Amino acid sequence: MSSRSGQAAKAGETVLVVEDEVLLRLSIAAYLRDCGYSVIEAADADEAVLVLKQPDLDIDVLFTEIEKPGAMDGFGLAQWTRANRRGLDVILTGTAPRAVNAAANLCEDGPVPKPYEPQLVHDRIRRLLAARPPRRPAGRPKKP
């Protein structure tokens, strides 16, 4: 169990962190790794989509900033994820005024305010993962 949290991640739980601010991305990714998660990092939505398009890559939670440069912002990434990776939980973070209303439709508890506290992010991930059915062990085929 991590010394930073009351509950460590289960083996194999993976979080995709999408954050264009390098220091914030490195900080939250390191914190989540210390909590026991496997973490994949992406600087923008385009990188995240490339990761998400890999069908054999198990990702449990997408944690993405709302306001980001590029053709797709965090809302667009969340919508793309809902359409293309059903069952993947999404956590949005940001302080934009439009974030609160739009995020309510794209993630369960609304956006995590930015700057975010790492423990708050960890707690949100734990709640989402605790509410879903257990994943099949790797290498076991789906039942017909």
pLDDT of 137: 58
Say what the pLDDT of residue 139 is. 52
The class level of CATH for 14-130 reads alpha beta
Question: Rounded to whole angstroms, what are the CA distances from 66 to 50, 87, 91, 95?
Answer: 18, 20, 10, 8
For 72-117, write each residue's pLDDT tens digit.
998 899 999 999 998 899 998 876 656 556 666 666 666 787 788 8
What tens digit of pLDDT does each residue of 22-66 get?
999 999 999 999 999 999 999 999 999 999 999 899 999 999 988
Q: Is the pLDDT at 2 greater than 50, yes or no?
A: no
When pLDDT is cut at 50, 70 and 90, the band that residue 128 belongs to is confident
What whole-number distance in Å separates Cα of residue 56 and Cα of residue 73? 25
- Vertex 66 angle, CA 61 and 67, to 5°: 145
Q: Are 70 and 44 in contact (CB under 8 A)?
A: yes
Beta strands in the chain (DSSP E): 14-18, 38-42, 61-65, 89-93
pLDDT at 7 > cutoff 90: no
Which strand ranges, in their side-by-side order, compose the sheet holding 14-18?
38-42, 14-18, 61-65, 89-93
Residues 59/85, Cβ–Cβ less than 8 Å: yes
Quote the tokens at residue 134: 């257990």
Domains of the chain by residue range: 14-130
